[in-house]
Amino acid sequence: MKKIPLPYFNQRKADIDMLVIHCQAFDETQSLQILHDVQLSAHYMIGLNGKIYQLVEDKYRAWHTKTGASYWKNVEDINSRSIGIEICSPSLGQKQYTKNQIHSILRLCKALTKKHHIKKQNVVGHSDICPNRKPDPGKAFPWKYFARQGIGFWYNINDAKKVQETDEGKMLSEIGYNVADLTAAKWAFCKRFLPDVIPTDNVGTLIDNPIPKNAAELMQGSNISEVLKAVFYKYNKVP
């Protein structure tokens, strides 16, 4: 691990209980320059070759998501309670991450969740906490594989029949999503749990329009209701 300290941080206002995974559509040099230009930061960055960089010490509040525009489980100051990881991805997570990156991300996530006692339900993507603004870490992030390795959680579709709840907004809210814009919340949910629903777009489109105008139509033909029930069930069973 290489340390490249960034000065964009302050004191935390809460204990660490979340891990947030981001990505940027640039290599290490460009990503660092952009963070400097906009005076933002993350605790860690994963380079294109899988190299891990520490940018801010865990004990500090890095500025990796916008307070007031991010949300998870009724909390808006995500920065105070989370560790942020940026991954370099030219496709903005639309194409597969490299094996070296996956190995490094997984190793880092295992170390951080153990060190800070972060629950599986609180390992999230940038799009989970900013459903109407952010597309990353993208449809190619291997959430299912990570869950098998103990990071985050996945679902068993057979569990859907065990759930009587039918209110999609209520289930999404209890999982953690901001459901003020229900379509955005469902779209973010699909990015993570139903990635085949998500079309592959270019970086510019994803940044300017993270939710396509036909999102509701694309989701209508999926089994999102059953998957949501299965995820909701699993969410409430994860220790």
- Catalytic machinery residues: 86
Structure tokens at 10: 């302050």
Place of tokens 């004191």: 11
The phi-psi region of residue 68 (left if phi > 0; otherwise alpha if psi is between -120 and 50; otherwise beta) is left
Look at the chain and count its residues: 239
**Are 81 and 15 within 8 A, CB to CB?**
yes
Distances 177 to 43, 44, 167 between C-alpha atoms, Å: 23, 24, 14
Assess contact for 140 and 91: CB atoms under 8 A. Answer: yes
Q: How many CA atoms lie within 13 A of 78 on its CB side?
A: 31
